[in-house]
Structure 1
Amino acid sequence: MKKHNFSAGPCILPQEVFKEASQAVLDFNNSGLSILEISHRSKDFVDVMEEARSLALELLGLEGKGYKALFLQGGASTQFLMTAYNLLQTKAGYLNTGAWSDKALKEAKFFGEIVEVASSKDSNFNFIPKGFDIPNDLDYLHLTSNNTIYGTQLKEFPSANAPLVCDMSSDIFSRQLDFSKFSIIYAGAQKNMGPAGATLVIIKEDILGKIERQIPSILDYQVHISKGSMFNTPPVYSVYVSMLTMRWLKKLGGIAAIEELNEKKSKLIYSEIDLNPLFQGFATKEDRSNMNATFTLVNEDLKETFDTMWKEAEINGINGHRSIGGYRASMYNAMTLESVATLVDVMGDLERKA
């Protein structure tokens, strides 16, 4: 029996993607070779890379608008470094809303002055700061759209007199936005796209080439663009599964269709958190993430009972991050409404037994 997988990442992927990807491990495109052993320079994989990059721009509504899509390595953590290396000449702004934006900020300090425009760190990142001032002389403003650990999500994005750079690792392709507002979007694959190993980077080309420092080739966006994401050996399997996942999303009806499902899932679990007296949410209500619902037991004496109940229901991966404890239900695009309902039923059963 397939478990209800609420893991924060690596995480759930669509079953039809698993099936097609598993067949490709044995024989890719009837080539007699596995996807794990084909040359990344072969036509079969070049076609995969081109389709993956094209699908990313299509789903985000950025085709023909001066953007390039790249699949790189090193996760979002390498993008903390690359964005600053390629864009930061004198000063950049960072909105600090969680552990990952905090790390991004620290990496950028190697390249110039960093302005922390606002932070919720003093409240253990349980809300998104609002109404803050943004300096007019920034090289860029960096945001993190969704915070997996704390279960918060930006619902509105600030306007700035600077390019917007956004880490969308944990909510890419999950909701409709005007993606043309952003100059760089980056996202690790292991939440809504595919297995760990690939990082999608969307770049508006005209923001590049404006800094004076020399950039090592492997960290230079312009090099990767010129080589079509093939400057070094790409993570073939991760790119392939990401392509399959984007195909699946397009077939469903794209981001508009999946956003509707994601709203239903989040409403279902947050309603239970708010109505069930045994639980309380961690994040401020107006900033709650549709991807990661964080909550705790009001009475920790019930923890052993609750843990036994959700495990018996074949639920996996809802333990909260060690920094805040409690529970975290990650509901990425491939999570079904039925799986969320299963968790909600267990929470309701606990109330009836208590």
Structure 2
Amino acid sequence: MPSRSEITYFGAGPAALPTDVLETAAKALVDYNGTGLGIAEHSHRSQYATDIINNAKNDLASYLDIDQSVYDILFMQAGGTGEFSAVVYNLVGAWVQNKIFEASKEVTDIPQDELVRRLKEKIANELKLDYIVTGSWSLKAYEEAIRLLGKEYVNLVVDAREHNNGKFGVIPDESTWKLSENAALVYYCDNETVDGVEFPAFPEILRSKPDSDSNPIVVADMSSNILSRRVPVNDHSIIFFGAQKNLGSAGVAVAVVKKTFLPPVTPQPQPDIMRKIGLPVPPIMMEYAPIAKNNSLYNTLSIFDVFIAGQVLKKLLATYPDKVDGQRKVAEQKAQLIYGALDKFPDVYKVVPSKGARSRMNICFRVIKNGDVDAAEKEFLAQATKLGLTGLKGHRSVGGMRASNYNSISLEGAQKLAKFIADFAQS
């Protein structure tokens, strides 16, 4: 069996973690700080747990330049998929609460029956959630919003498949997007792991304008490219990401939530009001307010997983004095090496997405050598595995190859893959 040092793992997630982080975590799992108890055994109400959470929040804020006076950082459960639902529940609730504020300004002590009537009218005429669909994960988020609310309240801003012969692989020009007026949220997925598509930059059409009262309420799923490049945090209302790509191990997700969507500025509407107007009441574990109020400790959070995330952040901060900008340079260098090797042999490899939408994190391609794609890809995987290059098989829904170039992949690992790509093409 190969040793850990002999393997470069390109799996899409759970992804590889730095070995020294795992070694530190392994010791802490047995005995944390000389307490005689492992970190998973200490109470989540202990000072140890509080310190681990606060340190991780502060390091994440430092690394990405998140202003904690404006945004709250929440550690949650149910992963990125759980956040598909959470953002719907919370931002629809915020939208309703704002309509309640407006009605209260017009009529003092408005009777509940009249309030319900007005809210139903507003919902029927104005409530919209906007979704920009550029790949499999944004499609799932869009479908979840429809499942929770109903199709009549969900607007498909753009479907990339309509611009690419029925398949994902492009980011359609913003001139084709059909945004709603004053949507309760505008969702996009910054990097699509299945389809190898990444936004090259933040969409200009969604950028906040100074002194505007109608800036879009932007929600970004950054599960697979967070920590790999600078994020224009202030153009977002919510950024969420599962930990298991670049941040740590599966078990926690992070939501960076603008405080204007939290009490006391914007409380969630009372459950009886939501029921009377026909909108869903969120499970309390998906409601941001109690999670924020309790510093992510409303219930028993996996402190061990937060500890691992914190150790990853400390390693990044120690490695890159210029923080995320340093990691971005390495991520781009690695991606250029791998794409360069693939592009050099167009008769052997076909990169799936268009050049303008290529992901730096998930490099999706087909092996078309000798015309027998199935046989060529099986041979590619077999030879790669012998060299310790593993996890290269594409997602089951689309097939092909996928090299996930997350932060834990070293420059040497990317060079090794690029060399194999060239050697295989010429063999």
Q: TM-score, normalized by length of structure 2? A: 0.80
Q: Which moved more, 1:254-263 or 1:130-139?
A: 130-139
Question: In the alignment, which residue of structure 2 is the partner of 1:341?
Answer: 415
2:403 is equivalent to residue 295 of structure 1: no
Match of 2:170 among 109, 127, 130: 127
Instruction: Note the C-alpha offset of 1:201.
Output: 0.7
Contact (CA 8 Å) 1:85, 1:111: kept in 2 or not?
no
Q: Are 2:230 and 1:176 equivalent residues in the alignment?
A: yes
Once the two structures are TM-superposed, the CA of residue 107 in structure 1 deviates from its matched residue by: 1.7
Deviates more, 1:296-305 or 1:339-348: 296-305
- Are residue 200 (structure 1) and residue 254 (structure 2) matched? yes
- Over residues 87-107 of structure 1, what are the superposed CA-to-partner deviations in whole Å (9 max), with x where a residue is unaligned? 124211000111211111122
Query: How far apart are residue 130 of structure 1 and its match?
Result: 1.9
Match of 1:124, as an amino acid?
Answer: K
Match of 2:131 among 83, 87, 94: 94
Aligned length in residues: 353
1:103 aligns with 2:170: no
> Which of 339, 343, 347 is residue 270 of structure 1 equivalent to?
339
Change (3 A) 1:220 1:10: same
**Partner deviation per Cα, 1:180-229 (whole Å, 9 max, x = no partner):** 11110000000001110000110001034366435442221011100100
Task: Provide the residue aligned with 2:119 in structure 1.
Answer: none
Separation in 2, partners of 1:295, 1:18: 31
Cα separation, 2, equivalents of 1:239 and 1:146: 23
Give distance in 2, aligned partners of 1:210 and 1:46. Answer: 25
- Whether 1:351 aligns to 2:391 is no
Which letter does structure 2 place at the counterpart of 1:163?
A: I
CA distance in 1, matches of 2:380, 2:292: 50
Of 59-68 and 338-347, deviating more is 59-68
Give ranges in structure 1 of 5+ residues lacking alignment.
Answer: none
Matches within 5 A, 1:1-354: 1-2=3-4, 3-88=7-92, 89=95, 90-109=127-146, 110-111=148-149, 113-122=153-162, 123-131=166-174, 132-158=177-203, 159-160=205-206, 161-208=215-262, 209=266, 212=269, 213=274, 215-253=282-320, 254-276=323-345, 277-299=347-369, 300=373, 301-353=375-427
1:174 Cα deviation from its structure 2 partner: 0.6
Q: Could you say if the C-alpha distance between residues 41 and 64 of structure 1 is closer, same or farther in structure 2, counting changes exceeding 3 Å? A: closer
Judge which range, 158-167 or 253-262, deviates more.
158-167
> After the TM superposition, which of the residue ranges 227-236 and 48-57 deviates more from structure 2?
48-57
1:104 aligned partner, one-letter code = A
- Conservation of the 8 A alpha-carbon contact between 2:9 and 2:389: yes
The separation in 1 between residues aligned to 2:138 and 2:49, in whole angstroms, is: 34
Q: Deviations over 1:28-72 (max 9, x none)?
A: 111111112111111112110111122222222112441000100
Contact 1:87/1:211 (CA < 8 Å) preserved in 2? no
- Separation in structure 2 between the aligned mates of residue 111 and residue 304 of structure 1, nearest angstrom: 43
CA, structure 1 residues 136+210, in 2 after alignment: closer, same or farther (shift >3 Å)? Answer: farther
Amino acid at match of 1:144: C
Aligned mates of 2:40, 2:192 — CA distance in 1 = 32
TM-score with structure 1 setting the length: 0.96
1:97-152 deviation digits (Å, cap 9, x = unpaired): 11211111122222361111001134321111222232222111001000000101
Q: Secondary structure at the match of 2:72?
A: strand
2: CA distance between counterparts of 1:27 and 1:325? 43
Give SS of 2:406's match.
coil
CA distance in 2, matches of 1:95, 1:262: 25
Cα deviation, 1:299-335, whole Å, max 9, x if unaligned, reads 3243343222101101110001122211000011111
* 1:148 aligned partner, one-letter code: T
Counterpart CA distance in 2 for 1:322 and 1:106 is: 20
Q: Is the 8 A contact 2:131 2:157 kept in 1?
A: yes
**What amino acid does structure 2 have at the position aligned with 1:263?**
E
Q: Name segments (4+ residues, structure 1) moved above 4 Å.
A: none
- Alignment RMSD (CA, Å): 1.5
Residue 256 of structure 1, CA deviation = 0.8
Provide Cα deviations, 1:205-258, integer angstroms capped at 9, x if missing partner: 103436643544222101110010000100121111001001111112221110
Q: Which has the higher helix share?
A: 2
Instruction: Return the alpha-carbon distance in structure 2 between the equivalents of residues 31 and 196 of structure 1.
Output: 26
Match of 2:123 in 1: none
Q: Secondary structure at the match of 2:285?
A: helix
Contact 1:313-1:342 at 8 Å conserved across structures: no
Which residue identity does 1:130 align to in structure 2? D
